[in-house]
Amino acid sequence: MGLTMSVQEFLDSLPSKGTKKVYKSGLKKFLEWYGKSAEEVLKERKDDLTQRPNEDLVTYRNRASNYSKIMERFHANLIDEGYKINTAKSLTNGIRQLFRYYQMDIKVRSGSNLNRTVKTQRNFPLTIEHVRRMYNVANFRERVILNMATDLGLRIGDFLEIKKEDLPDLSLEAPISFHVMTDKEDVLAKGFLSQETVNLLKKYLETLPEDNPYLFPSSRKTPKPISKTQLGNLLRDLAEKTGIKINNNKRLTFHCFRKMFLSAAIDSGIGLTAGKILCGKTVDSSDSTYLTTVKLRQHFNQLKRFLTINQQPKIEIEKIESLKMAVNKLQEDLSTQKIITETVSEENRKLKSQIEDLKKGQTGLNEKINNMTTMFQETFGGLAKSSAEEIVKFQKKARKREK
C-alpha cells in the first residue's frame, strides 16, 4: 500500500470539482503548517496504526490517536489565522478524507472542535424583485444568465459546465424539459426552461464562438467557461448598478439563486420535495417516484408565477385586463343575441307552419263552394229557365187581351 498511496490519486477519485479544490487547498495548508510532505504524512499515519511487537493495547491506542490531536492543533491554528469555524472544518477535512481514502480513518474524540459547525446566514436574501432590477440594467448575455439561473436553481459548478450541445430542442413548446446531472450530489436535476429564457437563448446562441463548446465561454483561447469568480463579480456589479444595498455581513453569490428557487418552491405551494427534484438536490427515492414529468411541468409553471423576471409594465397589464373585460362582455352579448335569434327562428317556423295550414284550409273551402255552385246550377238551372219562358208567354197573352 505504501508504494501506491499519494495525494493525487486521492484527489483524482473525487467526483466534485468544488470539493477537490477545497480539499487540495486544505492539504496544502496542512503540509505547510506541519512541515512534512504528503508521502511522509501518509507513512507516519500508517506507522501509527501498526502495532509494535509486545506493545500493550493502551500504548498502541494512544499512538493511533496521535493524528487526531495533530488535526485539532491544525484546526486551532486556522481559527487563530482568522478563518471562520465552517471554513476551518472544510480545510481540515482534506487531510481527514485523505486518511479515510486509504482506510486510515481518524477517530475524533467527543466534543472536538474538528466536528464543530455553526449555522450561517451570510448569503444575501435574494428575491425576484432584486433579479428584475438587475435584469433592467444587464446586457444581453447577463440577461441570459439571470433567466437561466432563476429557471434552474443549479449550483454554480453545474451551471458553468453547461455546453451548447446540452441544450434541448428550443423549437419545442415551453416550458422545455432540461435535465442536468449534478456534480456534487450526483443526482439528476429535472428542470425546465421557461418561454422567456428560450426566447433569449435562440438569439444568444447566434452570438457564440464556434470554437468554444460552453454556453458561457471564457474569452481565453483555451475552450473553457467563465470562472466562478467572474460570474460572482458579474452579479455584484449588476447589484451595484441597480443600487441594491448589501450589508457587510452578507454576500451576493450565485448560490443565492438556489436559495431563492427553493424558497419560492415553498411559497408557491409546490413543496420543497418538488423544488429539490427540479434543481437537483437529493431527496428520498420514495418521494421522487410520485412526481412524474407531467406533474413536474405543472409544478414548474406554478413556480414561475413567483419567479417571472420580465414582467410587463403596469399600464400594459391594465390594457390587457381591459381587453379581457371587453372580450368577456362581447361574448356575453353574442350569447344573448344567439338566444334571441334562435327564439325568433323558432317562432318563424311555427308561424310558417300555421300559414301553410291556413292555405290548405282555404283551398278546401274554395273547392266546396265550386262544387255547391255546380250542383245548384245542375239542379235548379233548367227549372229557372222554363219558369222564365212561361213568364214571357204570360206577358204576351196579357198584352193581347188589353188590345
d(CA 306, CA 261): 9
**CA–CA–CA angle 91, 279, 136 (5° rounding):** 95
Listed residue (12, 27, 158) closest to 92, CA to CA: 27
d(CA 77, CA 87): 12
Q: Are residues 108 and 192 in the same domain?
A: no
Q: List residues bridging with 174 in a β-sheet.
A: none
- Residues with Cβ < 8 Å from 285, sequence gap 6 or more? none
Q: Clarify whether residues 94 and 156 are in a common domain.
A: no
Q: Which residues pair with 189 in a beta bridge?
A: 180
For residues 282 and 142, state if they share a domain: yes
Which among 376, 304, 289 is positioned nearest to 131, based on CA atoms? 304
CA dist 80 and 69 (Å) reads 17
Question: How many domains, in total, are found in the chain?
Answer: 2
Nearest to 17 by CA among 167, 228, 163: 228
In a domain, 384, yes or no: no
Q: Is 333 part of a structural domain of the chain?
A: no
Which of these three, 311, 330, 345, is where a domain ends? 311
Rounded to whole angstroms, the Cα distance separating 275 from 269 reads 10
The answer to whether position 355 is within a domain reads no
Instruction: Verify that 145 and 76 share a domain, yes or no.
Output: no
Domain assignment present for residue 181? The answer is yes
Q: Do 59 and 135 share a domain, yes or no?
A: no
Do 148 and 243 share a domain, yes or no? Answer: yes
Report if residue 194 sits inside a domain: yes
Residue 259 and residue 205 share a domain: yes
Pairing state of beta strands 176-181 and 188-193? antiparallel
Helix pair angle (57-64, 66-80), 10° resolution: 30
* Distance separating alpha carbons of residues 350 and 382, to the nearest angstrom: 49
Q: Which residue carries 444568465 as its cell?
A: 145
DSSP letter at 218 equals -
For residues 215 and 70, state if they share a domain.
no
Do 102 and 151 reside in the same domain of the chain? no
pLDDT for 315 equals 43
pLDDT tens for 195-214 read 999 999 999 999 999 999 99
| 196/105 same-domain check | no
CA dist 214 and 205 (Å) reads 11
Mark whether 257 and 135 lie in a shared domain: yes
- CATH number of residue 262's parent domain: 1.10.443.10
Residue 206 and residue 134 in one domain? yes
CB contact set of 224 (below 8 Å; sequence gap of 6+): 212, 214, 217, 218
pLDDT tens by residue, 239-277: 999 999 887 778 899 999 999 999 999 999 999 999 999
Amino acid at 180: V
* Residues 208, 140 contacting (CB under 8 angstroms): no
Side chain identity, residue 13: S
Q: Is the pTM of this model over 0.85?
A: no
- The answer to the question of residue 262 being in a domain is yes
User: With b meaning 16 or more CB within 10 Å and e meaning fewer, what string describes 318-332?
Assistant: eeeeeeeeeeeeeee
Which one of 115, 145, 169 terminates a domain? 115
271 within 8 A of 283, measured Cβ to Cβ: no
Q: Is 189 helix (H, G, I), strand (E, B) or coil?
A: strand
The answer to the question of residue 174 being in a domain is: yes
Per the domain annotation, does 322 fall within a domain?
A: no
The CB density around residue 377, as the number of other CB atoms within 10 Å, is 11
CA distance 233 to 219: 16
- Structural domain that includes position 307: 128-311
**Residue segments in the chain with a per-residue pLDDT below the cut of 70:** 1-4, 118-121, 286-294, 311-324, 361-364, 376-388, 401-403
Q: How many CA atoms lie within 13 A of 241 on its CB side?
A: 16
Bridge partner residues of 355 (DSSP)? none
Which of 85, 115, 145 represents a domain boundary (last residue)?
Answer: 115
Distance, in Å, from the CA atom of 183 to the CA atom of 111, rounded to the nearest integer, reads 32
Give the closest residue to 264 by CA, choosing from 302, 303, 310, 298.
303
Cell of 4: 501506491
Cα separation values, 377 from 264, 374, 391, Å: 104, 5, 20
